[in-house]
Amino acid sequence: MSTTSKNRIDSGLEPFSGIWDRAAVQHLLRRVHFGITKEDVAYFLTKTASQAVDDVLNVDYTPVAPPINNYNDRNPDPRVPAGESWVNDYNGLFNNQRRQSFKAWWSGQIINHDRSIREQMVLFWHNHFSTQSNIYNWANFAYQNNTLIRSSCLKNFKTLVKDMTLDPAMLIYLNGERNTKEAPDENYSRELQELFTLGKGTESQFTEHDVREGARILTGWRINKQTGHVYFQQNRHDTDDKQFSSFYKNKTIPGRTGATGGEQELDDMLTMIFDHNEVSKYMVRKLYKWFVYYEIDENTEASVIEPLATIFRNNEYEVKPVLEALLKSAHFFDIANRGAMIKSPVVFSHGLVRMFDLPMPNDTDYISLYNHWSRITATSATQQQSLGDPPSVAGWPAYYQVPMYYELWINSDTLQNRNKMTDILTTNGYNINGVNLQINHSGFASKFNSVANPEQFIDDLINFFYTLPVDQKQKAFMKSILLSGQLADSYWTTAWNDFIEDQNNAQKKQLIVQRLSFLYKYMMNLSEFQLA
């Protein structure tokens, strides 16, 4: 269960009744979006807290445009024209290029996400139902897996578990397609219970025998790799009865024959598993650790986890009601939970693009666009979070490894790579095929009405960049950057106003850009910038 006895927070699921201000809005957005933007903060400030959460949970399930052939300039594809989608072409010949195309496309979905929680939930479920594209090695199945998650992200968890059980990427990754009555494979049955539904807590007492019986139920599923279609092969299925342990009340699942036999037995097994209250508590704890904090004390278990688990069960495992109760709660907005997380690499890297509204090539220049998305994917990978390839079936250790959790994201290597990314974006940028990915220093500064007032501008940047206050000496140093060591505020004010009046003047622009570049670089290198 992973709880601690000392109570860190006393608040519970009672509705948030505090001040709905910029800090509260930014806390919500830091947890449900990838980076915050000035525009989103302004939008949600026009709402109440309850309305804001309703907006966040209003997911548009309209399918998004699929990834395309962006690789013809490097390795021509005779079956899929340049600029056309490859997702329905199952040939396996261009998997490496298509996997990179898929990952770039996924980065693009994150960078361009709407105001809902969808992309955070896609990553949450990808971590929960972890698969590794470099192992199952089919780009088409990577896309199918992502699309399944995307279409179900706030819907029914039990249905998602069944769909994921019969997902091609998962069937290959955990050997489901090799599972036969002659040689039952226990991989998926074990992870279904241990990682995907019940967990490994003290209340989860399924046995090795249960794993073996579950494997027998799951025999017979196959994949047509020419179409991506999953089908049931009757002669590979174990049709004998399956007897489970006392943990499952000695449940016997009768063996079935016929074309629907495998699916009927699967439904019976999932009903048996979901009859345990531990499923709801285990999953609520995972959602809590993703969106709130990694530590669950006794009060949180009693006043947050258990009531949310009840909501989960009472709503027949619909996900949305659980998140609605959590995100609208006083507990979620508690001051102790603000700035309590370390940004994951995907949040850090993609959040920078969104926060600074970095200019990207347009859709017509899709090769450059995909190359830019690939660059962001790669920077996240150098920080030890590669989209599509968690390190194991358990997902990324930062979400489960006691006692470090999120702190695992920061080490001497990853911190250097984070700082390298912000340093490059504030200086020369990433030049990709002649298109530069770089912060528009003056354009970003112009989003703040206070920019001509160095004292207020610094305060506004601090409030936007950070969740926690900074030392007065650091604030003074930030101001000195804008003033180039001068004492009078007018030194910056005059420089900024002169630039605004004559923005085509290269010398005036260079003066502004240089100071803002130094300022942004310094602010993003501080430890406070790593927190969410």
The DSSP line for 388-405 is: T--SSTT--GGGT-TTTG
User: Which single residue is written with the structure tokens 């992309």?
Assistant: 119
What torsion, rounded to 10 degrees, do the Cα atoms 198, 200, 203, 208 define? 80
What tokens appear for 267 in the block? 């439904």
User: Exposure of 369 by Cβ count < 10 A (0-12 exposed, 13-18 middle, 19+ buried)?
Assistant: buried
Using CA atoms, how far apart are residues 271 and 113, in angstroms rounded to an integer? 35
Given a contact cutoff of 8 angstroms between Cβ atoms, the answer to whether 15 and 54 are in contact is no
Look at residue 329 and give its three-state secondary structure.
Answer: strand
Q: How far apart are CA 422 and CA 413, in angstroms?
A: 15
Give the helix/strand (H/E) hosting 272: helix 261-274
What stretches in the chain show pLDDT beneath 50?
none
Q: Name 116's bridge partners.
A: none
Dmax over CA atoms of the chain, in Å, equals: 86
Using an 8 Å Cβ cutoff, are 86 and 80 in contact?
yes
The pLDDT assigned to 433 comes to: 84
E strand or H helix at 230, and its extent? strand 229-232
Question: What pLDDT is stored for residue 358 in this prediction?
Answer: 96
Two structure tokens written together for 483: 């003033």
Identify whether the C-beta of residue 303 lies closer than 8 Å to the C-beta of residue 12.
Answer: yes
Instruction: Pinpoint the alpha helices (H) of 334-470.
Output: 345-355, 366-382, 412-426, 441-445, 454-465
Q: What local confidence, expressed as pLDDT, does residue 474 receive?
A: 96
Q: φ and ψ at 354, to 5 degrees?
A: -70, -45
Length of the chain in terms of residues written: 532
pLDDT of residue 26: 98
Chain centre to alpha carbon of residue 413 = 22
**CA 49, CA 195: separation in Å to the nearest integer?**
33
* Residue 454: predicted pLDDT: 97
Tens of pLDDT, residue by residue over 238-254, are 999 999 999 999 999 99
pLDDT of the residue at 4? 54
- How far from chain centre, in Å, is Cα 195? 18
